[in-house]
Amino acid sequence: MRIAYLVNQYPKISHSFIRREIDGLERSGLEVERISIRRTMEPLADPRDRAEIDRTRVLLDGGLARLAWESLVTLWTRPVRFARALSLAIRQGRRSRRGLLLHLAYLAEACVLRRSLAETRVEHLHAHFATNSATVAALCESLGGPRYSFTFHGPEFFEFPKHEALAEKIARASFTVAISHNGRSQLLRISDRRHWERIHLVHCGVDAEFLDRPSTPIPDRPRFVCVARLDPAKGITILVEAAARLLREGHEFEIVVVGDGEMRTFLDCVIREHGLERHVRLVGWKAQAEVVEEILAARALVLPSFEEGLPVVFMEALALERPVVSTFIAGIPELVVPDVTGWLVPASDVEALAAAMVKVLEATPAQLQAMGRRGAAMVRERHDAIHEARHMAELFTAGAEVVRPDRVEPRGSTSPVRPAHVETR
């Protein structure tokens, strides 16, 4: 079976979990086309991500001329389909904070995508993230393209203040995937009851590089690691404020922040203002092997996010037997269990975060290692990338009845459509 994965930007530093999922699907015998809407401009530190560049087609590489041409060809050859897709784009565009103009652009992208999928005989299209990639997938199907599905990660929920577009995408999709129970509950909350049994749980995962690595002792060094994009949602400013508190209280510590982004200059300034240059280092993005070494060199991973789904870096840290300090939000408590695999604090609470970090500093290496081992067992059970990819493969190949736009029942129906032979997890 030939399927295609559609992502707004792929490959990307923060999308290693998609690469692992694709690898697992191909090991299951599926052929996977990689399609990115736009080309990733950030430098890729990991050679495996760089290798994906040549395997990925980029919709916007043809420029405005190709978008316009494919739109005109589709209008001429498929006028009824084009009219339906245009109506869908207008309806969702009017409801969206992104606006009507962008949704007309998504329609043009869908025209390019439909032609590409037809040429490569793709049978199913899967989008990662419920924002523009899922919109393009839905429009592509409306134009006569293959059935589609999408993975909802969690933070996209804030893109839909009235939720109409997300609920409609669920209704039109062959199936929808959430990466955590919390994420699935959000989808159930906004969708019609008849669609619930087509909303599945498939975790993001880690591979043998993490799962099969020999145990490495926790270092005595008072060191934390944070691996994240430097953007407001990750709460790095709160981490720096907590570090300033630790410094005032006389604690010896070091925090290595692996990542980059729009807040780098601002964070550099805040670090200098608090006199934390010796204690907090921003080291930029690193290749996966270097990230592993940074995690192993730390007593714990810390990430005080304001908004998340379920961060893959937590799975990586726990698989390496390093406990996690984070916040009580979204799907995080499903993996980071207080005093079992790490510590959780209220989001934005500097005092609570500092107190949790003090607990890490005061714990013995043996205590931290025991927490890490419990976390590694949870990751091995729930977040093995190859195992989770098999569940995705089952969804793709189960022969699920497709709920196409012209077959969506009126709201209020309670008859669920369930993929044959696939259990809702």
Q: How far apart are CA 264 and CA 248, in angstroms?
A: 24
Q: What is the pLDDT of residue 45?
A: 84
Do residues 319 and 295 lie in contact, with contact meaning Cβ atoms separated by under 8 Å? no
Q: Domain boundaries in the chain?
A: 2-205+386-407, 208-382
As a whole number, mean pLDDT of residues 109-124 equals 97
Please, what is the average pLDDT of the chain?
91
- For 152-200, what is each residue's pLDDT tens digit? 998 876 655 555 589 999 999 999 999 999 999 999 999 999 999 999 9
Do residues 190 and 422 lie in contact, with contact meaning Cβ atoms separated by under 8 Å? no
Q: How far apart are CA 364 and CA 199, in angstroms?
A: 43
CATH superfamily for domain 208-382: Glycogen Phosphorylase B; (3.40.50.2000)
| Distances 43 to 12, 48, 288 between C-alpha atoms, Å | 9, 13, 14
The maximal CA–CA distance of the chain, rounded, in angstroms, is 72
| Distances 73 to 28, 220, 284 between C-alpha atoms, Å | 37, 65, 45
Q: What is the pLDDT of residue 159?
A: 59
User: Over 70: is that where the pLDDT of 87 sits?
Assistant: yes
- For 310-355, what is each residue's pLDDT tens digit? 999 999 999 999 999 999 999 999 999 999 999 999 999 999 999 9
* Same fold? 2-205+386-407, 208-382: yes
Do residues 313 and 288 lie in contact, with contact meaning Cβ atoms separated by under 8 Å? no
What single-letter DSSP state applies at residue 409? P
Residue given tokens 């949602």 in the structure block = 233
What single-letter DSSP state applies at residue 173? S
Do residues 353 and 239 lie in contact, with contact meaning Cβ atoms separated by under 8 Å? yes
> 92-96, 126-130, 201-205, 302-306 — which is least confidently predicted?
92-96
Residue 61: CA atoms inside 13 Å, Cβ hemisphere, count? 13
Q: How far apart are CA 202 and CA 204, in angstroms?
A: 7
> What confidence category does residue 410 fall into, taking pLDDT thresholds of 50, 70 and 90?
very low
Q: Which of 376, 55, 38, 81 is nearest to 216 (CA)?
A: 376
Non-local CB neighbours of 5 within 8 Å, separated by 6+ positions: 18, 22, 32, 33, 34, 35, 126, 127, 128
The CB-based long-range contact list for 53-60 (8 Å cut-off, 24+ gap) reads 53/11, 56/10, 56/11, 57/33, 57/116, 59/35, 59/109, 59/112, 59/113, 59/116, 60/109
> What confidence category does residue 412 fall into, taking pLDDT thresholds of 50, 70 and 90?
very low
Q: What is the pLDDT of residue 158?
A: 62
User: Over 80: is that where the pLDDT of 53 sits?
Assistant: yes
User: Over 90: is that where the pLDDT of 399 sits?
Assistant: no
As a whole number, mean pLDDT of residues 240-253 equals 98
Q: How far apart are CA 338 and CA 222, in angstroms?
A: 20
Q: What is the pLDDT of residue 215?
A: 95
pTM score above 0.85: yes
Non-local CB neighbours of 313 within 8 Å, separated by 6+ positions: 227, 228, 301, 303
User: Over 80: is that where the pLDDT of 279 sits?
Assistant: yes
Q: How far apart are CA 186 and CA 312, in angstroms?
A: 20
* Stronger pLDDT, 388 or 93, i.e. the higher one: 388
What kind of architecture, by CATH, is found in domain 2-205+386-407? 3-Layer(aba) Sandwich (3.40)
